Amino acid sequence: EPLTPKDRMAIPMQEMPSQDPMVRRSNMEEVAIGYTPAQARIEAERCLQCKTAPCVKGCPVSINIPGFIKAIAEGDNKKAVDVIKESSLLPAVCGRVCPQEAQCQAPCTVGKALKSVDQAVSIGRLERFVADWEREQGLVEKPTVKPATGKKVGIIGTGPAGLTVAADVRREGHDVVLFEAFHKPGGVMVYGIPEFRLPKAIVQKEIDTLLAMGCELRTNFVIGRTRKITDLLEQDGFDALFIGTGAGLPRFMNIEGENLVGVYSANEYLTRSNLMRAYDKERAQTPIFESEKVAVLGGGNVAMDAARTAVRLGAKEVHLIYRRTEAEMPARVEEIAHAKEEGVIFHFLENPKRILSDEKGWVSGVECLRYELGEPDDSGRRRPIAIEGSEFEIDLDTVIVAIGNDSNPLIRQTTPGLDTNKWGNIVADENGKTSLSRVFAGGDIVLGAATVILAMGEGRKAAKAMNEMLAKD
């Protein structure tokens, strides 16, 4: 007997099983454990299968959400994952890290009816569930590769944008070479986002699939230094290139004391811990500060990751300082909640004025100002205004600056004729085409620091355009 919409609305939202906060504070393992099969089916039953599917409009790559959820409800996980893969190549990643509450889950009818986006159907968790199920069952299939075309495509950067293009272009039978500056592929998914939120093995699995499809990977290869874009096109026989180099240039605040010993960019702190595995003090050679009192400056995902990493590395006190209020924080709601559970101390409407030094030139604290919210600025968020004379100090030994990234200028500086905008991002049209013939770009290098799913979506569009171009040659 089919459930009525009323029955479905009465089903309680399935909570994500998670490691206990007190336990996970001292390990790097994944915080969210994932739905059980039974939970997944129950959660899937909550979906009303809305004719207009407002959720789909909230997903940047328009996954057929009611379609895949229906398959889960019917117990056909394989079908569910196949439906997702029509639109997304990285469901195990996006199911974990998408800001769902601002995307697919924001317009969900169930959430609206229950008057809270927290009560929406847990689309991301279900997406993760089926992607994990497929991987754990060993059912991930290597996509078929069409007969060789003899065309060669170079992909610069192995973040979500580059990996997506590699898969889509390789499927058409073109040779694919991926270039990566680091010694490991995966981009921010391996050097930035910590293990406790996105296990490296999941990203590695995606890369293994690409290699099994015959893509070539060249790590330790910096385009612009080891070889330039023009060399690849003019001498090395590449028929098309995709630039997906991300937004890897840390911003600092330009305040006094920013170069003291003990001040990190979040990029450096997270790279040391994740990519270089400094958290594994037994084995890793790369050192990281053994901090007692840390302040993280910023309010995005990067700031949450840095703060929660500091907790896990053994800091006794971790402060997160943000100059607006919690409502304006760009981080995923779940990350903020997890950070609080793990004991991160949040300071809203405060911002450092300068970083204080001890007599040896090491961080000893920050001097902060209190803020209030004024009129909305260009971004629509109310502008924080410093309250004069409100200075106060916090004692610290480490400061991590997580106020955003700009684009790395290396490719721009070494590629004549490649148009960039005033922020240094590469200019690309809706198909990812840049000002240079045969050169495409996408992801954070075009969008500015954005999200995994947007990078993937851009990659798909660019790959389509590249395949069309190569087919016409």
Partner 1 sequence: MNRILEKKQLSETVFQMQIDAPLIARERRAGQFIILQLCEDYGERIPLTIADADADAGTITIIFQAVGDTTKKLAQLNAGDDIAALVGPLGTPTHIENFGRVVCVGGGIGVAPLHPIVQALKAAGNHVTIIMGARNKELMILEEEMRAMADELIVCTDDGSYGRKCLVTEPLKELCEQDPRPNLVVAVGPPIMMKFCVETTRPYEVPTQVSLNTIMVDGTGMCGGCRVTVGGETKFVCVDGPEFDGHLVDFDNMINRLGSYKKQEEAHKCRCMPDNP
Ligand X SMILES: Cc1cc2nc3c(=O)[nH]c(=O)nc-3n(C[C@H](O)[C@H](O)[C@H](O)COP(=O)(O)OP(=O)(O)OC[C@H]3O[C@@H](n4cnc5c(N)ncnc54)[C@H](O)[C@@H]3O)c2cc1C
Q: Where along the sequence are the contacts to ligand SF4 (CB under 6 A)?
A: 47-50, 53-55, 59, 61, 63, 65-66, 88, 94-95, 98, 100, 103-104, 108-110, 121, 123-124, 127, 453
DSSP H stretches of helix in 153-293: 160-171, 188-191, 200-212, 229-234, 266-273
Question: For partner 1, which residue of 11, 213, 222, 386 counts as binding (CB under 8 A)?
Answer: 222
Cα–Cα distance for residue pair 124/101, rounded to 1 Å: 9
- 3-state secondary structure (DSSP) of residue 231: helix
- 3-state secondary structure (DSSP) of residue 356: strand
Question: For partner 1, which residue of 15, 290, 395, 419 counts as binding (CB under 8 A)?
Answer: 290
Q: How far is the CB of 283 from ligand X (least distance, A)?
A: 15
- The answer to whether 418 touches 233, Cβ cutoff 8 Å, is no
CB-nearer residue toward partner 1: 272 or 461: 272
- The answer to whether 53 touches 87, Cβ cutoff 8 Å, is no
Cα–Cα distance for residue pair 274/293, rounded to 1 Å: 20
CB-nearer residue toward ligand X: 189 or 368: 189
Which token pair is 322? 């943000």
Q: Is 291 in the site for ligand X (CB under 6 A)?
A: no
- φ/ψ of residue 320, rounded to 5: -115, 120
Q: Is 451 in the site for ligand X (CB under 6 A)?
A: yes
Beta-carbon contacts of residue 229 (< 8 Å; ≥ 6 apart) = 156, 223, 241, 243, 411, 414, 415, 418, 436, 439
Write the DSSP symbol of residue 381. S
Question: For partner 1, which residue of 220, 235, 421, 437 counts as binding (CB under 8 A)?
Answer: 220
Residue 429's alpha-carbon distances to 156, 217, 416, 433, 440, in angstroms, are 18, 27, 18, 5, 9
Question: For ligand X, which residue of 153, 288, 302, 363 counts as binding (CB under 6 A)?
Answer: 302
Nearest-CA neighbor of 445 among 188, 166, 82? 188
- Partner whose footprint covers residue 452, from partner 1, ligand X, ligand SF4, none (CB < 5 to 8 Å by kind): ligand X
Q: How far is the CB of 100 from ligand SF4 (least distance, A)?
A: 5
Site residues (CB under 6 A) for ligand X, limited to 128-157: 156-157
Helix (H) or strand (E) holding 155: strand 152-156
Site residues (CB under 8 A) for partner 1, limited to 392-451: 408-410
CB-nearer residue toward partner 1: 181 or 454: 181
- The answer to whether 408 touches 387, Cβ cutoff 8 Å, is no
Q: How far is the CB of 82 from ligand X (least distance, A)?
A: 23
CB-nearer residue toward partner 1: 45 or 256: 256
Question: For partner 1, which residue of 6, 283, 422, 472 counts as binding (CB under 8 A)?
Answer: 283
Interface with partner 1 (CB under 8 A): 181-184, 219-222, 225-227, 248-250, 252, 254, 258-262, 264-265, 267-268, 271-272, 276-277, 280, 282-290, 360-362, 408-410
Interface with ligand X (CB under 6 A): 97-98, 156-162, 179-182, 187-188, 192-193, 222-224, 244-246, 248, 270, 301-302, 305, 332, 408, 410-411, 443-445, 450-453, 455
